[in-house]
Amino acid sequence: MIIKKKELAAKALKIGKERVKFVRVRLDEIKDAITKQDIRDLVETGAIIIKPVKGRRTNIKRKNRKGQGKVKKKVNKRKREYVEMTRKLRKHVKLLKKQGTISKEESKQFRKEIRNKAFRSKSNLVSHIKNKK
């Protein structure tokens, strides 16, 4: 019976069932309540307490979500830049492998790093290779 009253209170107050709390001393009054208006009156008198919201994580996430205005360039432009850079860097790695400067395993590793945008430019890749040796 109390569970049904809790559901009624939640519906009347437009909150979740977990947030509804009955004062044990005044359970008789709560059991007599039939309408939504009765429930609202009991909230005003203090027989029913509304607990505060616990989790705010999703609200904060929604608030901090990046909107379209934060994106600096269009998708196609970013994709084109990525493709140009990767082709240039892969060509350079292939040349170094052909010359024998780097081994097959190293070239595979560099190709993975290129794919993951580890290098900003060709000069950045060259300096990285020099530091490794």
pLDDT of 104 > 90? The answer is yes
Q: Is 2 helix (H, G, I), strand (E, B) or coil?
A: helix
Task: Decide: 86 and 115 in contact? Cβ < 8 Å.
Answer: yes
What pLDDT is stored for residue 72 in this prediction?
Answer: 78
Rg of the Cα atoms in the chain: 32
What pLDDT is stored for residue 61 in this prediction?
Answer: 83
DSSP conformational letter for 48: E
What pLDDT is stored for residue 76 in this prediction?
Answer: 92
What pLDDT is stored for residue 57 in this prediction?
Answer: 83
Q: Pick the more confident residue, 87 or 133.
A: 87
Which class would CATH give 2-50? mainly alpha
Please state the rounded mean pLDDT for residues 124-128: 93
Just give the CATH number of 71-132: 1.10.1200
Summarised one tens digit per residue, pLDDT across range 81-96 is: 999 999 999 999 999 9
- For the chain, give every residue range classified as CATH 1.10.1200: 71-132
Instruction: Give the integer Cα–Cα distance in Å for 24 and 98.
Output: 83
pLDDT of 110 > 90? The answer is yes
List strand residue ranges (DSSP E) for 1-133, in order. Answer: 20-22, 48-50
Q: Is 49 helix (H, G, I), strand (E, B) or coil?
A: strand
> What residues have CB less than 8 Å from 103, skipping those under 6 apart?
97
Summarised one tens digit per residue, pLDDT across range 33-80 is: 899 999 999 999 999 999 998 877 888 888 887 777 777 788 899 999
Three-state secondary structure readout of 82-113: HHHHHHHHHHHHHHHHHHCCCCHHHHHHHHHH
- For the chain, give every residue range classified as CATH 1.10.1650.10: 2-50
pLDDT of 9 > 80? The answer is yes
* Closest to 39 measured CA to CA, from 25, 24, 50, 54: 50
Please state the rounded mean pLDDT for residues 4-23: 92
Threshold 0.85, pTM exceeds: no
What pLDDT is stored for residue 66 in this prediction?
Answer: 73
